[in-house]
Amino acid sequence: MKQTILIVDDEADIRAVLAFNIGNAGYQVEEAASSEEAMAILLKKDVDLILLDVMLPGISGYKLASKLREDGNNIPIIFLTALGSERNLIAGFDAGGDDYISKPFSIKEVLARVEAVLRRSGTADKAIIITLGPLKIDTTTKIASINGRDMELTHKEFELLRVLAENPGKCFSRSDFIAMLWKEAPYVVDRTVDVHIARIRSKLGDARGLLQNKSGFGYYLDENGV
């Protein structure tokens, strides 16, 4: 059975482009122009993921996400927004979002994020092995390996590496990692992320070149770095 993606955006052109491409990627698509329409759909249909615009007429995307979480609804949510500041990124995660895509975006990026979030939520019906050069990550067994050799990672190290591997080439700042992986620990500082990165790089051994640092921006994985 096809998985269903609910697109919530008040701009009809954006909905049309997303619906066309997401449908072609093999998903069932539902559309809503407002949070109120989205809630009506959610009462009648099972949805596997929501692509949710932040700036909506009436109830905002943030408020809709917060309401769903308060009601115990754990449907994965990816925010779509032109508000790309760090403050808005953190606000999105605080509201219960699973990921955050800034406008303008590429369809390729949206599809990659949808698949990654579905995989993390345990609802993806595609392969659960992430491969990037010599690196393989099994999201079910929580085992990462390099050239067939298992890496001895802590829980946070594994989650940090998984986020990077699910978004190859995408640069994540220390604040991004703290918002995603340490949101329940308000006193975590940038140095904590650096220490985890250093440990991961050490455990990558000869493949440490996979994990790159872009000065002033953050960290990313580069398959060509090996």
Domain count, the chain: 2
Residues 32-80: pLDDT tens digits? 999 999 999 999 888 999 999 988 989 988 899 888 888 888 889 898 8
> What does the pLDDT look like over 137-172, one tens digit per residue?
887 778 899 988 999 988 888 889 999 998 888 999
Q: What is the pTM of this model?
A: 0.54
- Whether 126 shows a pLDDT value over 60: the answer reads no
CATH code assigned at 165: 1.10.10.10
Residues 23 and 113 in one domain: yes
One domain, residues 133 and 218:
yes
Say yes or no: 27 and 47 in one domain.
Answer: yes
Read off the tokens for 91.
């606000």
CATH code of 92's domain? 3.40.50.2300
Of 87, 121, 155, the residue that ends a domain is: 121
Domain span at residue 219 reads 129-225
Do residue 22 and residue 70 come from a single domain? yes
Residues 115 and 50 grouped into a single domain = yes
